[in-house]
Amino acid sequence: MSQSFGSFGRRGVLAGGTALSLFGASAEAAGRTRYITANNNPYDILDPHQVFDIGRIAIRLNMYDALVRWVDNPPKLEMWLAEKVDISADGLVYTFTLRPGVKFHDGSPLTADDVVYSMERILGIKKGAYGLFADVVKPGTTKAVDPRTVRFTLNKPFAVFQAVLSELWVVNSKVVKAQEKNGDWGAEWLTRNEAGSGGYRLRRFDPAIGFQAERFEGHFMPFGKGAVDDADFRVSMETATRVLGMIKGEFTTTDGYMPAEQVQRMKESGNVWFKEAESIRTFYFIMNHAKAPMNDVNLRRAISCMFDYEGFNNNILGGTVVRNPGIIPNPMWGAPKDLKGYSYDIDKAKWYLSQVKEKLRTIQIGAMAGYPQSEQAAQMLQAGAAKAGLDIKVVAEPYTTIAPKLDDPERAHDLIPLWRSAYFADPHNWTGFLFNSRNFKSGNASFYKNPRVDELTDQALVITDQEKRRPLYEEVSRILVEDAVGLFVNNTKFYGPYAKSVKSVRFCPIGDTQDLRWIEMNT
């Protein structure tokens, strides 16, 4: 690979690919480890600041670094690019000291200027994780004190600031600036190229296929024995293809959220082993409180008694999930251990229905087309409601159609079955973000307003001590169930399939096991 770094134009990427085929032949002889992931989402945009989703997280985790990083389950936040942090007493000023000697893939040093540029870039292109920072960080307020010190000044206390900094992926500012075109922050270029410091370096990219990366020996964090040398991430939409590929050994791993039947089939082949873990990804129905009669707590309680939780979790999903009575996932701190949710009880549902003061009408569920579980949950609730005498209509729309309506209580569906994944592991992700009335039109798609919940979640954002925040979130959880704010169904279990060539993996709900540096292969 005599190709000069940093010149990853379209041509450059292809040249890298040609070099690879020569390299690939000798690579096997040299006993390099190879790890092929089949993903059910396309890896079509490489820019870490344009996307903020689970489907493409492998790009960010492997080719980029942030000041902090999540590891293990339940997730812990570790210092990563940063060595230490000082937080002012008022919780407004965060001063991070960077690790010495961190290098980008082109060999140039990573400095505080790059961190500042990355923050400004997120605020500037207003995509991806912008929403996490927009409220508290204003453009121009982030300063490089010296090459190893960066200072953030918030305009109000935000206890989860460190937690969300895991999404401040640091890009090589010199390289990206050189590619800027009419103030686009180099967006067009970075969509297809890479300018990071992460453990893996881009070798080849095709939006229709995926990307290939090789281990970056110059990374500040040493790799363990049996670390992955060559990584290959490919899109493969069809479940059957991914399963077949695992059985035949064409893929090293694929997604860990398959139907029970497919998991069984892979197990029976004898070629695949599984890593099981309870993740932090709750499945629930958003309820739109803004439209009568959904504003009536007894109707919401009635609906919560119409869903066959057992039948759904254990029969339809074959026990691949765990009942989660509240919104905060069971393993997460802040979820009360003794929380009692609703259970499937048609008689109780009928009783609650009789207490409803508002005039009843047909309730509409907006299921997410293309997500079988969302559609199946809708059908499940519809059938239960029919037994209790409530008329429910299901529509299935792609997320692209559902999402815009979430801003407008009049157009939004009454109920929407979906997941709330972990982008950062803090109870705020499931409570304040989703149910504080300040977040109408951004996170709070329920249009739920409860002064006590507002107060508790606001308070919890000002205190930084986790043990003091815990009771606040536990109280919020109880109120949300008492008010039947949503219909809380389950928490997802991860069943990650691996080829026998993989010795061990380290699971973290943020990115599952896609952070390759923790993988150990048999050599």
Partner 1 sequence: MKTLRRLARDRALVTGMVIVSLLVLAAIFATPLSNFPGHVTGFDPAFRLKPPGEVFWLGTDRMGADLYSRLLFGARLTILISISATAVAVLIGVPMGLVAGYFDRWYSDLLMRVSDVFLAVPQIVLAIAIAQTLGPAIQNVILALSATYWPFWARIVYAETRSLRNEVFIEAAIAMGASPLRVMVLHVLPSIASSIIVRTTIGMGATILAAASLGFLGLGAPPPTPEWGRMIAESREFLPQAWWYATAPGIAILLVVMGFNLLGDGLRDAIDPRIRRGS
Partner 2 sequence: MRLLALALRRFLWMPPTLLGLTLIVFSVSHIIPADPARVLAGENAPVEQVEALRRKYGLDKPLPEQFVRYVTDVVGGNMGQSLYTQRQVASDLVERLPATFELALFAITLAVLVGLPLGVVSALYRNTWLDHAVRLVTIAGLAMAAFWLAILLQLLFSMQWNLTPVQGRIDGWGPDPITGFYTVDALIRGDFATLATSLRYLFLPMITLAIPAMATIVRFTRAGVLNVMNSNFVFYQAAMGLPRRVVIWKYILRAALIGTLTQIGLVFGNLLAGAVVVETVFSWPGLGTYAYNSILQSDYNAIMGFTLFTGAVFIGMNLLVDIAQAVLDPRSR
Give the whole-angstrom CA distance, residue 299 versus residue 304: 9
| Residues between 462 and 491 that touch partner 2 (CB under 8 A) | none
Unique residue bearing structure tokens 């997730």? 75
Alpha helix ranges (H) inside 54-111: 57-63
| Residues between 200 and 259 that touch partner 2 (CB under 8 A) | 204, 206-209, 212, 232, 234-238, 240-241, 244, 250
Q: Which does 50 bind (CB under 5 to 8 A by kind): partner 2, partner 1, none?
A: partner 2
| Residues between 263 and 302 that touch partner 1 (CB under 8 A) | 265
Sign of CA dihedral 377, 378, 380, 384: positive
Q: What are phi and psi of 303, to 5 degrees?
A: -60, -40
Tell me if 131 contacts partner 2 by CB under 8 A.
yes
Tell me if 271 contacts partner 2 by CB under 8 A.
no
Which CB sits closer to partner 2, 96 or 185? 185
| Residues between 234 and 263 that touch partner 1 (CB under 8 A) | 238-240, 259, 261-262
**Smallest gap from residue 246 Cβ to partner 2 (A):** 12
| Residues between 312 and 341 that touch partner 1 (CB under 8 A) | 312, 315-316
From residue 220, give the alpha-carbon distance in Å to each of 82, 110, 114, 120, 216.
Answer: 11, 11, 16, 25, 10
CB atoms within 10 A of CB 289: 22
Q: Which does 53 bind (CB under 5 to 8 A by kind): partner 1, partner 2, none?
A: partner 2
Give the whole-angstrom CA distance, residue 350 versus residue 192: 56
Interface pick for partner 2 out of 39, 43, 45, 111 (rule CB under 8 A): 45
Cβ contact 51:128 at 8 Å: yes
From residue 10, give the alpha-carbon distance in Å to each of 190, 207, 343, 483, 492.
Answer: 11, 12, 56, 55, 39
Coil, strand or helix at 28: helix
Q: How many residues sit close enough to partner 1 to count as binding (CB under 8 A)?
A: 30
**Smallest gap from residue 40 Cβ to partner 1 (A):** 11
What residue ranges in 88-155 does DSSP mark as E strands? 93-98, 143-146, 149-153
**Smallest gap from residue 110 Cβ to partner 1 (A):** 43
Interaction site with partner 1 (CB under 8 A): 238-240, 259, 261-262, 265, 308, 311-312, 315-316, 367, 369-370, 372, 375-376, 378-380, 382-383, 386, 394-398, 401
Interaction site with partner 2 (CB under 8 A): 14, 17-18, 36, 44-45, 47, 50-53, 126-128, 130-131, 134-135, 187-188, 191-192, 204, 206-209, 212, 232, 234-238, 240-241, 244, 250, 398-401, 403-405, 407, 411, 433, 441-443
